[in-house]
Chain A
Amino acid sequence: MHDHPSSHHMIVPVKTYVAVFVSLLVLTFVTVFVTRFDFGAFNLIVALAIALLKAGLVVMIFMGLKWNKSFDRLAFFGSLVFLFIFFSLVFVDIPLRGYRGVEESQQINIKSPVKPFPKGTMPNAAH
């Protein structure tokens, strides 16, 4: 049996690609723009939420997972689960133990190559 490949591929309209392109640019602008406001602990969450949105657009439209309903989709999203396992089980350990495996009180001095600023002079952004 001979399947013609074009029956398997969706030719996406140019305007869809352009719309995604523009959205990605807008979201890049937004993610830079919101750094002007300090949301405290939410800075990270806002930045990650925008990044996830952008990533979703790239994966679903540019990489075609929206139309590709085969095992590829499960493979990709499934692998995120394994990354999450790694992340979360490491973080069962990290916050619950002393740094470098020793208690806070026994912290050893590290040989840091960083040259400290003279007292009282705070650095400004380099650029």
Chain B
Amino acid sequence: MSQVPLNYLNATKGLKSWLFTLDHKRIGIMYLMFIAISFGLGGFFALALRLELLNPKELLFTAKQYNQLFTLHGAVMVFLFIVPSIPASLGNFLLPLQLGAKDVAFPRLNLASLYIYVFGGLFCVYSMFSGAVDTGWTFYTPYSIDTSTSVISMTLGAFILGFSSILTGVNFIVTIHKMRAPGMTWFRMPLMVWSLYATAIIQVLATPVLAITLLLLILERTMGIGIFNPALGGDPVLFQHFFWFYSHPAVYIMILPAMGVISELVTAFCRKNIFGYKLVAFSSLAIAIISFFVWGHHLFVSGQSDYAAMIFSLLTYLVAIPSAVKVFNWIATMYRGSIQIKAPFLYFLAFLFLFSIGGFTGIMLGALSLDVHLHDTYFVVAHFHYVMMGGTVMAFIGGLHYWWPKMFGRMYSEFWAFIAWAFVMVGFNMVFFTQFILGAKGMPRRYYSYLDQFQPLHAFSTFGSWVMAVGFILMAFYLMDSLLNGKKAPDNPWGALTLEWQTQSPPLTENFIETPVVTRGPYDFGQEKRS
């Protein structure tokens, strides 16, 4: 018995001790589980729809089923996977640890968010089996008012998931304000915390607008309220305004935590202080604030006024500034660092390459004149997959590998991690770089069939999806294997300086034996404290 030290995993036993736990670490692990399942589900839909696109003819699915597939892929990936991915799983696990706190400010609210998430997820799953949705994950009116598929259960699911996200945001803001350990000043916080803070701001400010939008859509379907229905005198473009007032900032809910993870990875594996701590920290806040000014670039071809389109196009460029500040600072951090090439660092590199491509193409799409041509083509699809998957998912997986030893107290196989990374990286670029070309040539998104001339590129993209799938399946295997047979992890396998590495692996139930007192910055590697 004395072999295994007491930790949050073995402190109490039984299913009930998990279902009713208030420990932020256990809640984070449960989130991780549901998020992994959602990722698998969304990935399955992606593989299915890529398979259908292998050639322009009907292969496995009818046109209607294909519409349902891409809708479910989008809805599951956005609402069930990527919005909660990093904040709810890694964030929940890490935030109190990195602040030197015993728990988040409201542990019961935290557990409630988890159950609200599961409850909302059940509605989404119900929707899949009761006719699915074929509107696209954006639920644009008027089609979403008329379609016979089960829009209400899916939107209700997204509505409920929104509240889970809001409550997590409330919890995180209060935790960061009030639960910091003695000496943990704002500028001694790890950058992960800064990015979670910026994320929480968006979650709290933008999500309620999504809630009201989806509620109005539900009222539209149940009692024909008419606000968004042109046949009743309403305005469908208004739906897009309301939807994107949330959903564009939501894009930053997805990418900001990823940027936080990346800042942790680059410092830990270069053993160097971050270049320009304050700039990186404030650029997170800047992104959060600017994110509310740009939603109109989704409406460039939707009939919004030309003046609005021009203003939104200009405002959109602003986001590039803080994003580029971060990218340059990460690169500058690497300069003359003593770099260890470990699995998390590989994902850092993947992020850096893929996110930069995603960002550059984002600027192209933000340009009004060019967007009119590229709007609703595969170019857009490729762009946001480079940001969302190449950015967020790579950072999420990198973070998962980085904190895995802390979460489970086990190491994984670096060799297999490298192999899986290579598959994912090659597969990803096969799938989505091809789609840039397809889009530039004029292939519209969400189409079931296409001209024969696009077939080779579509086929190549589909092959890529299989390569990527192999990578993810490998990952699932070696991570499972690590849980069962992995080497015991030391407390601080990477030699990082943030607080979560100063406690045991896995941590105690209340994180630290004694509340730590912080006397230095999070990345002061072997240097005198910088002023």
Contacts and interface: CB of A to CB of B under 8 A. Distances in A.
B231 A93 contact: no
Interface of A: 71, 79, 82, 85-86, 89-90, 92-93, 96-102, 108, 110-113
Contact of A85 (B234, B292, B311): B292
Q: A interface, by DSSP: helix, strand, loop or mixed?
A: helix
Given A86-B292, A111-B232, 9 more contacts: A79-B205, A82-B292, A86-B209, A89-B296, A93-B304, A96-B308, A99-B235, A101-B302, A102-B303
Contact of B305 (A86, A92, A102, A111): A92
Interface of B: 177, 205, 209, 230-237, 241, 245, 292-293, 295-296, 299, 302-308, 311-312
A100 B209 contact: no
Nearest to A71: B177
Contacts of B205: 79, 82
B305 A96 contact: yes
Given A71-B177, A101-B236, A110 B305 contact: no
Contacts of A86: 209, 245, 292
A110 B311 contact: no
Top 5 A-B residue pairs of the complex, sorted by shortest distance between their CB atoms: A101-B303, A96-B305, A97-B305, A93-B308, A110-B233
Nearest to A101: B303
Contacts of B177: 71
B307 A92 contact: yes
A85 B291 CA distance: 11
For B209, B295, B296, B304, which residue has the most chain A Cβ atoms within 10 angstroms? B304
14 contacts: A82-B292, A85-B293, A86-B245, A89-B293, A92-B308, A97-B304, A99-B235, A100-B235, A101-B235, A101-B304, A102-B303, A110-B231, A110-B232, A113-B232
Contact of B231 (A97, A101, A111): A111
A101 B142 CA distance: 13
B236 A93 contact: no
A100 B237 contact: yes
Nearest to B292: A85
A93 B293 contact: no
Given A110-B232, A111-B231, A96 B245 contact: no
Nearest to A108: B230
Contacts of B236: 100-101
Contact of A100 (B230, B241, B292, B293): B230
For A98, A102, A110, which residue has the most chain B Cβ atoms within 10 angstroms? A110
A33 B423 CA distance: 74
B311 A92 contact: yes
Contacts of A79: 205
A110 B230 CA distance: 7
Nearest to B315: A89
A102 B508 CA distance: 62
Contacts of B311: 89, 92
Contacts of A100: 230, 234-237
A98 B308 CA distance: 13
B205 to A, nearest CB: 5
Given A89-B296, A96-B307, A96-B308, A101 B237 contact: yes
Contacts of A102: 303
A96 B241 CA distance: 15
Contacts of B292: 82, 85-86
A102 B237 CA distance: 11
A79 B204 CA distance: 10
Contacts of A96: 305-308
Nearest to B289: A82
A109 to B, nearest CB: 10
Contacts of A71: 177
A96 B295 CA distance: 17
A112 B241 contact: no
Contacts of A90: 241
B136 to A, nearest CB: 18
Contacts of A98: 303
A72 B177 CA distance: 11
Contacts of B305: 92-93, 96-97
A74 B171 CA distance: 17
B219 to A, nearest CB: 15
A97 B308 contact: yes
Contact of A93 (B230, B232, B296): B296
A54 B305 CA distance: 36
Contact of B233 (A82, A85, A89, A112): A112
A113 B232 CA distance: 8
A97 B303 contact: yes
Contacts of B233: 110, 112
Contacts of A111: 231-232
A90 B240 CA distance: 11
A98 B306 CA distance: 11
Contacts of A82: 205, 292
A111 B230 CA distance: 9
A73 B312 CA distance: 30
A101 B140 CA distance: 14
B27 to A, nearest CB: 25
A100 B235 CA distance: 5
Contacts of B302: 101
A93 B296 CA distance: 9
A98 to B, nearest CB: 8
Nearest to A90: B241
A98 B232 CA distance: 16
Given A86-B245, A89-B293, A93-B305, A112 B235 contact: no
A86 B210 CA distance: 13
A114 B306 CA distance: 33
A9 to B, nearest CB: 17
Nearest to A98: B303
Contacts of B308: 89, 92-93, 96-97
